[in-house]
Structure 1
Amino acid sequence: MELIDTFFNGPILVRSFPILMRGLGNTVVLGIAAIVFGAIAGLAICLMRLYAPKPFRRLATAYIDIFRALPILVVLILIYYALPFVGIRLSSFASAALALSLVFAAFTAEVCRAGIENIPKGQFEAAATLGLPFWLAMRKVILPQAIRVVIPPLTSNCVSVFKDTALASVVAMPDLLKQATDAQALMANPTPLIGAAIIYLAILWPLVRLVGYLENRGKDQFAQ
């Protein structure tokens, strides 16, 4: 009974539920913002790495290598605590969104590069034969085919982004984890943390299953 009263206390879970829901809203908004901006930036960096002049290709490669190597927490702390020394002050939400976007963009760029390079060169040649300009061929011919290849790994990376939103609590952003820890302190019971874990599981488990489904579907299509 001590275990249940301490970690699975029903009345405390009910009292903390509205607090957790406010944090969940912030978490969802943060995750969506990071994914949208990170995906757009990642695709741009990918195209820069593949088709820009050599200095820009090297710059894109350096960006990808650096932000794939740096932990998100380090990037977040640098943005939130170091930038004010050069006169740039961002809110906790903006700092977390920027940090997640920068890292997600690096992983997205690599995934997109692999997807584009997976397309046979004959597709480029056929588009050129038809007189399509490069960027039109990329938008109409290459990217639609590459999307089918990159969707499973991109979906997996999106799941990681939503999990990493919990790091925003380090800079006092009222996300789901921060609200859960505040509720824990207020109620002197760790049950709100268990509630947050259940919410994370309820949201992310279907996405994890979706990743598995997309990966299996891709293998079946490849086998055919």
Structure 2
Amino acid sequence: MPYWLQLMVDSLGPLLWAAFAFTAPLTLLSFVFGLTLGLVVALIRLFGPRPLVAVVRFYVWIFRGTPLLVQLFLIFYGLPSVGILLDAFPAALIGFTLNVGAYSSEIVRAAIGSVAKGQWEAAYSIGMTWTQAMRRTILPQAARVAVPPLSNTFIALVKDTSLAAAITVPELFQAAQRIVAVSYEPLILYVEAALLYLAMSSVLSALQTRLEAKLDRYGGFLEARS
């Protein structure tokens, strides 16, 4: 077996372990928390009082207008200067959550805004409260619009987690860096890491396509009933 192939085979186990133990949890937790935050921010932007709207608009402006790597450095290396010490994984989780929250809030806000005003009126006409109308009528329709860009955000997040290596999170890319430090073969290891990211992104893209197809069929069913 060629040396480069043997090295890739020997490295596959540690890289996969890092992907499942750190990259996957960091991605999933950041996306769930970030999407929850994004929904709250979007609802405040659409329906909240002006002072609170100004606060969340400032938050979105900051986190959409600055690099993610800088945000991670500020949280992990900057906060200790004011007495806030965080381990690497929680710091990365906070950074990714805030970043995803800012971007997903704009997606959710646009999706809710795309629902026709008549849907609100129809919900109110049958006695629904605002909360019931949002949960039963508006959000299901907005989800059809939001799923494609949110899915793209999730896939991008999988790749962005490689930035966590810069703050010492032992995820997939840092695992590759550690092996490079021993083997002195950066090209082979970084290509292998890139292939693993590519494989994960390809699987998620296929799942996104299936999900969008199901939502289209569900949307057609609702339109037929209406």
TM-score where L is the length of structure 1: 0.89
Is 1:136 aligned with 2:144? no
Do the aligned residues in 1 keep the contact of 2:144 with 2:216 (CA within 8 Å)? no
Residue in 2 that maps onto 1:90: 86
Deviation at residue 66 of structure 1 after TM alignment: 1.5
Is 1:11 aligned with 2:6? yes
Give the count of matched residue pairs: 217
Deviation at residue 206 of structure 1 after TM alignment: 2.9
Do the aligned residues in 2 keep the contact of 1:149 with 1:218 (CA within 8 Å)? no
- Of 4, 21, 41, the residue aligned with 1:45 is 41
Residue in 1 that maps onto 2:223: none
Secondary structure, counterpart of 1:83 in structure 2: helix
Higher relative contact order (CA 8 A, sep 6+): 1
Residue in 2 that maps onto 1:200: 197
TM-score where L is the length of structure 2: 0.89
| Aligned AA (1:27) | T
Is 1:160 aligned with 2:156? yes
Deviation at residue 22 of structure 1 after TM alignment: 2.0
Q: 5+ unaligned residues in a row in structure 2: which ranges?
A: 221-226
Do the aligned residues in 2 keep the contact of 1:152 with 1:214 (CA within 8 Å)? no
Residue in 2 that maps onto 1:179: 175
Do the aligned residues in 2 keep the contact of 1:80 with 1:90 (CA within 8 Å)? yes
Q: 1 CA distance for matches of 2:126 and 2:210?
A: 36
Deviation at residue 189 of structure 1 after TM alignment: 1.4
- Decide whether aligned partners of structure 1 residues 141 and 216 sit closer, same or farther in structure 2, where only a CA change above 3 A counts: closer
- Of 16, 22, 25, the residue aligned with 1:21 is 16
Secondary structure, counterpart of 2:106 in structure 1: helix
Describe the superposition over 1:18-72 as per-residue Cα deviations: whole angstroms up to 9, x where unpaired: 2112211211111111101001000000001110111111212221122111111
Q: 5+ unaligned residues in a row in structure 1: which ranges?
A: none
| Aligned AA (1:154) | L
Q: Aligned residues: percent identity?
A: 37
